Each structure stands twice: as C-alpha cells, then as structure tokens.
Structure 1
Amino acid sequence: METTGRGRPRIQDTADDIVAAVLATAGARVSTPDFSTRRIAELTGLSQTLVSRACRRIRRVPAEGGGAGGHAASGGTNSVGSGASSVGAGASRDSRRSALVLAEVHVRFPQIRLRFAPERGASAPGAQTVATSEKTAAERRATALMASLHASEAARWRVRDAGEAASAEASLLTPDQLSACWDAHDPDWEQFLDRTAGLLSRCAPTVDAIPGDLLDLLARRAGRGLHGTEWRRGLPRNPNISDSATEDVALPAELERSPRNRWFSQVELSVTEQIAIALRREITNSRFRAGDRLSPNVLGDRLGLSRSTVRSAMSRLVDDGLLDSDQGSFRVPGVTVADVVDLYAARLHIGMVLLRACAVQPRHQMLPVRLALGAVEAAATQGTRSDVGLADLQFQQELAEASGLSQSARAFHALTLRVRMFIAVLRLDYSPAVERIVSDDRRILTAVLAGDAEAAVRSWRLKLDNAVRHMSALAPESFDAELWSRLSR
C-alpha cells in the first residue's frame, strides 16, 4: 500500500478528501440520518471504518478520544463527528465559561475569519438538558463546518504581492479569544484548524449554534474554495438575490488560489464566459427585457475589468448568440421558439453521448454527480424558485464532467450558458416543474450507476422534452412540435 512521507496510508488521505466533499456540500441536511457514517460509506463506496476515521480526522478528534460514531444515530448507524468534545476538553471542564455560538464567517482571499460569541441567555455548559439526537445533529454540523475548511484547500493559497494584499484587509484579522483567523501571508494552517475545532467544542450542543443557513451557504460555495463567503448571525438573506449572484468572476490576476478539490467540478471559465454569467445576473436583477441596451462601460466598472476587455467579450457573446448587436451597441437578445428548439436539440444529442460515456465510468467518478443530485433535492425543499433550476443545470454539468469526454463536456457547458441566458430573458419559473425535475434526475443517475446507458438516455429524452415545452410556453410564438420531433429523433 502506498504511504505518504509521514507513513500514513494515502487511501486515508483520499478518504478524508472524499468525505470532506460530501459533508461540505450537504448543507443543513448534514443533521439528518442521510449523513451517518454508514450512509456516507454507501454513497462513496468507502468502508465505514475509513469514513469514521475520516470524520474524526476532519473534526480533529484524537484517536484515543471518543471517536467518530460514538453516538448512535437513528437505525443504529453511526454519527459523523461524535465525540469531538474531546477536542478542547479543558474548555468544557471550565464551568464558568458560557456556551458559544458561531456569530460570523468571513472568507475573502487570502484571509479567513470565524468569530464566536456567548450563547444568549445561556448558563454554563451542561446546565440544561439537551436531547441526544440534537447533540448528534449539532456535532454533525460542527464536522461539516470543519469539512468546508478542509475542502477549501486554503492551506495552499499563495499570494504574489504580499505587501499590497496584506494591507488591504489587515483589520479583518484582529485577534481575540473567541475568533479563529487564517492569513496566507503568515500561514499556520494546522494551528488555525486546531483553534477552530477547540472553539467548536465549546459551542452549545444545539443545532442553532451553527445555523442551517450558514451550512447551506457554505455548501453552495464549496466548489469555489469558499471564496467570497460573508455570513453574520441574524442577518436575513435578501430574497431578491438568487444563487446566480454567487457566481464569482475570477480572482484578480495578482492572486493565486489552490487547485480546486478534484471531487468538485473542474470547469474553468474564460473571461468571456465569466462576463456571460455577469450579464445574466445583470439581466435578472435589473429586470431588463428583450431589446434593452447593455452598457459595456457600466459592466466593466462593476466587474473591475477594462472597458475594452468587456466590449471584446460582449462581441464574442454576440457571435455565440447570447447578445444582439446594433451599430456597435449591445442589446438583450430576443428568444424565439426556434431558438429554444435549436438549443435543446443540441443539448439532447450531446447529452446522449455524455450519458453513454458516464455509464461505463467507475462509481467513484460519479461522486460529484451524486453530491449535485443532493443539492437538487435540497433546493426542491428549501430553496427559492430559481434554486432548483440552477441546481439542476449544475447536476447536468457534473454528469458531463464525469463522462471523461472533455471536448463534449466543454461544448455542453457552452450550451448551458445559453440556457441560463434564456432563463433570465424569459423569467422562467421552475416552481411547477420541481417534482418532475427531481424525479428525472434521480432516474438518470440511477441508470448511470447501474451501467444502463439506454435507460439513462430514455430518461434524458423525457427530461428535455418536458424542458423544451416548458420554456417554449414563454416564448412569443407557439411551440413547433413537428420541428422538435424531427430534431430529437
């Protein structure tokens, strides 16, 4: 068996990364029995022993301590991260200290800060009885938070211009007794994780200590290294801002980030694609309609990019059909039924190729797809009306990436950008289709995991047939069923 320089089996390091990816993308659902060590083992194909050990290591529980899985979850399965109270146990023995809650999380390259605060109205730890199930759920949430930090790969962050970047946010890392801070300029990642684990061990054993809205935000940010995460306790989410607003343009060129965790999507966006995302966000948030003008100057100022760069990218988007142009000015494109049919016919046939390739891939290759399906299911029960559609498109893209066909996956991604633009222009509401989207995605993944390519393709055909009809209903002309039938054979 291969080992690392420290003599530790590499299979455990890999298991740590896989389990961290599962927990980091679970969101508030991590509190449920779906994320017991047994269920995670079934999901990932790892042994339950490896999963339990990974949870302990992520939560930073000493091997001689209580051990992950010490508390029984429903059905006799083990809890992830149970027994982590042994971390910083000296703190819990000090009855004069109040229980803590997480109060603030700030991630802005190259710095991270987690701030804790005493629980309001609480007395010393242990002064009130808490149900074992809630303690287990609270510990799972703490483990999921640590998993998000693990999956961020912030330990590998590098800064080129240390002096300039350090002065930009020096005030962020003002140390105090209830904060854990990390700065890539003076890195001691292990100490930061130990301090975070110790503060988490002092948190109240209730789910409110680490709120579900924070975990959901971290889950959405997990594939982007948590960059740009801003959360404060009690600050309500703006219902007018959809998850599309969290799609970041790339970091400034003078900063370097670590390679993304290989268990997350590996799609890298060009500047043109990033601007396409920003344009879609602008169209959605500013209530633009087909024919309205878009200013490269305004967009450039908002993105911090030169006007010439933005204008050049917008010209590319005109060539790709994502924008209209008239004598040098840019306009929000109109969307016709023919455009919708054309787009979905292309996605249908490329998707068929990708699914047939996915069906012969090893099961571990499908882990990002399975995590993406979980995000679709969570959005269906907890998200806004736009969340399900965006999560569904991400699920489809994860299938494309898992196929191993890089050129086809790239072409599929370009079509996805076009779908998202159409959604913005047409103000598409996925609410009536939520249950069907979830069931379609489940059938597709089930068929892929069973190696049944043709069953996956049949489900894909049905899914896109429903989608094209749903989107066409909002276009100005009537749906051309005969054209769609010819193109989708």
Structure 2
Amino acid sequence: MVQEKRTLPRRGETPVSAATIYETIRRDIVRMRLRPGERLSENELGLRFGTSRTPVREAIVRLVDDGLIEVWPQRGTFVSRISLRAIKRARFVRNALELGIIREAAELGLPEVAFKQAERAIAEQREAGNDPDRFTDADDKFHRTFANAIGYGDIWSIVESQKAEFDRIRFLSLPEVTPVDLLIRQHRAILKAVVARDAETAEKILRAHLSIVVETTVALMRTNPDLINDDAGESL
C-alpha cells in the first residue's frame, strides 16, 4: 500500500476524524488504489492520517460493515474481493430507482439548467480520455443530474451508498474493457429521449446502459479471477 506522508497533528490542530478516515479509505478501495487482497495495517494508517489507532479502527469497522474490508483473526485486515452478490444487489437498486427517475424526468420535462449540466457531464467524459477518475466523476454527474432535476437528490444518495462494487468494476475495467464510446453514445441518447419527453425510449436505453456492468464483470472474471468473489449463488 502506498502511504501518504503526513506528520502528526500539531498541538491545537483538530485530529483527523474517523469519518474522514473512512471516506478516504473507502474512496481508495472503490477507485482501486487499494486493490482486493491488499493488506491494511492500523499502524501504517495511523501514520498516514497522523492519528491514533482508535479512529482508524472505527473507520475499519464501518468498512467491514460495507463489505469492503475483511478482518481475519491471526492473519490481518485485508481489502475484500469484489462481490458478485453485492453487484447483483446494486444492479437491482439502480434499476429500481434510476429507471423511475429517468421516466419521471422525461414525463415532467428537463429544466434548461439540468440539460446544460447533463451536456457538460457528457463533454467531460469525452475530455477525460483514459483517466478513469475524471471519466467516472463525469459519469456520476450525468446520472445525478436527472435525480436533482426532479427533486430526488436524496434518492440518488441511496444509489451512491449501494454502488461501491459497481464502481470497483468500473475502475478495474477502464479504459481497456469498458466500452467508453458506447457509454457516451448511450448518455447522449438518454438525454435526447428525456428532452423529447419520450419516457419509454429513455427507460429502454438506460436499462441497456446499466446492463453493461454485467457484461464487463463476466469479462473481468476471466482475466482477474483473484480479484472477484463469485458469491452470487447464480449467474448475474
């Protein structure tokens, strides 16, 4: 694990909170800076964040609850392998919520400011090139725009909380496996259908769009079987 050099907080400074540690480690796991199977050391994390082991342990407990970290007695703490079961659950949540969001956005009509935000997100994806961080940030911005436009930003937060394994697959696959150009074309088609108030077409394209992660996961299982846990109980 590459450690970020940091000195201990000076007297009078606010110590790094467990919440900040949790968010930072979670982001590193989701963005594949910490890869499945990688061992984590509480001492090293304490040095990284300039804090005691107590907030580090609190953060680790939350990450264990999220399924992103595993603690094995007598062995240590490790980043969990990507769970097919969690991907299946996340796909269910995204289909249930995002398809409803996109349908309502098409039925109600998209405000001009939201249209421009969605267009900008697509442009940022194109500009991202082979940078998975920039591409994924823009991808999330595109999807979140529709929820915010119809006043359902809080519902998008539910999607965010469930899609960590989705995101790990995305970062593992970009840019070699994920069909980036296809994703961008689908985004343009979704936006066009919403603007035209064609809810059926918008929903159909979004459904196909969300299914790509399944194809990507199957491909990655062949090339990275050590990183993915086939715990779904049945095929995706």
Q: Same fold (TM over 0.5)?
A: yes
Residue of structure 1 in register with 2:173 after alignment: 428
Residue of structure 2 in register with 1:364 after alignment: 113
Residue of structure 2 in register with 1:312 after alignment: 58
Give SS of 2:44's match.
helix
Q: Rg bigger for which structure?
A: 1
- 1:322–1:336 distance in 2 versus 1, CA, 3 Å: closer
Deviations 1:127-169 (A, max 9, x none): xxxxxxxxxxxxxxxxxxxxxxxxxxxxxxxxxxxxxxxxxxx
Instruction: Give the alignment of 1:326-345 within 5 angstroms.
Output: 326-327=72-73, 329-345=76-92
The one-letter code matched in structure 1 to 2:207 is R
Instruction: Give the alignment of 1:163-202 within 5 angstroms.
Output: none
TM-score, with normalisation over the residues of structure 1?
Answer: 0.38
Residue of structure 2 in register with 1:240 after alignment: none
Deviations 1:24-49 (A, max 9, x none): xxxxxxxxxxxxxxxxxxxxxxxxxx
CA contact (8 A) 2:26 2:63 kept: yes
Residue of structure 2 in register with 1:323 after alignment: 69
CA contact (8 A) 1:355 1:453 kept: yes
Q: CA deviation at 1:441?
A: 0.9
- Count how many residue pairs are aligned between Structure 1 and Structure 2: 208
The one-letter code matched in structure 1 to 2:122 is L
Q: CA deviation at 1:387?
A: 4.4
Give SS of 1:324's match.
strand
Instruction: Pick from 95, 116, 126 the counterpart of residue 377 of structure 1.
Output: 126
CA contact (8 A) 1:386 1:429 kept: no
Deviations 1:412-466 (A, max 9, x none): 1113434223445xx3233350211110111111122222222221111101112
Instruction: Give the alignment of 1:58-457 within 5 angstroms.
Output: 271=20, 272-281=22-31, 283-284=32-33, 289-327=35-73, 329-359=76-106, 360=108, 361-379=110-128, 382-384=129-131, 387-424=134-171, 427-432=172-177, 433-457=179-203
Please give the alpha-carbon distance, in whole angstroms, between the structure 2 residues aligned to 1:396 and 1:416.
13
- 1:407–1:453 distance in 2 versus 1, CA, 3 Å: same
- 1:431–1:279 distance in 2 versus 1, CA, 3 Å: closer
Q: Which runs of 5+ in 1 are unaligned?
A: 1-252, 255-269, 485-489
CA contact (8 A) 1:376 1:388 kept: yes
The one-letter code matched in structure 1 to 2:114 is Q
TM-score, with normalisation over the residues of structure 2?
Answer: 0.72
Q: CA deviation at 1:322?
A: 2.0
The structure with higher relative contact order (CA 8 Å, sep 6+) is 2
Please give the alpha-carbon distance, in whole angstroms, between the structure 2 residues aligned to 1:295 and 1:354.
41
The one-letter code matched in structure 1 to 2:144 is Q
- 1:318–1:423 distance in 2 versus 1, CA, 3 Å: farther
Q: Which runs of 5+ in 2 are unaligned?
A: 1-12
Name the structure with the higher helix share. Answer: 2
RMSD, aligned α-carbons: 3.1
Q: Percent identity?
A: 27
Please give the alpha-carbon distance, in whole angstroms, between the structure 1 residues aligned to 2:124 and 2:45.
30
- 1:353–1:323 distance in 2 versus 1, CA, 3 Å: farther
Q: CA deviation at 1:389?
A: 4.1
- 1:387–1:327 distance in 2 versus 1, CA, 3 Å: same
Q: CA deviation at 1:301?
A: 2.9
Residue of structure 2 in register with 1:470 after alignment: 216
